[in-house]
Amino acid sequence: MASSFGKAANKMKKVKFLLVMATLLAVPAAFAFTQYHRTLQEWAYDGSGSVLAPENYVLVETSPACEGTASICTIMAPDDGNGEPDLSDTGLQSRITNKDTSNGDVFLKN
């Protein structure tokens, strides 16, 4: 009877260990998922300074008519948590700087 109790105790230790490991792996994965899948919002450039400065954008409720190729009209980016667009993505920064509309997150006007 003592040996079956010992086997059961070892099995419970293994189960507890696996649960702890699964939890330790799940928490960072969930955090990473939320960081890379944040909701994109539309932000209008106010024309007051650098197109790479988040403070120069305002959140758009109704999309403006963005037609043309001359300057930044709006961008799609997540909120940085402070009511400004998160422009930390170097790909988005490059597209803004180069007026590259190919990714569907930069819109231009004349």
Domain ranges of the chain: 1-37, 41-109
Q: How far apart are CA 45 and CA 13, in angstroms?
A: 58
Name the phi and psi angles at 2, rounded to 5.
-65, -35
Q: How far from the centroid of its chain's Cα atoms is residue 58's Cα? A: 18
Return d(Cα 88, Cα 83) in angstroms, integer.
Answer: 14
Instruction: For residue range 58-96, list pLDDT tens digits in order.
Output: 999 998 899 989 999 999 999 999 999 999 999 999 999
- Provide the pLDDT confidence category of residue 11 given band limits of 50, 70 and 90: confident
C-beta contacts of 2-6 below 8 A and 24+ residues apart: none
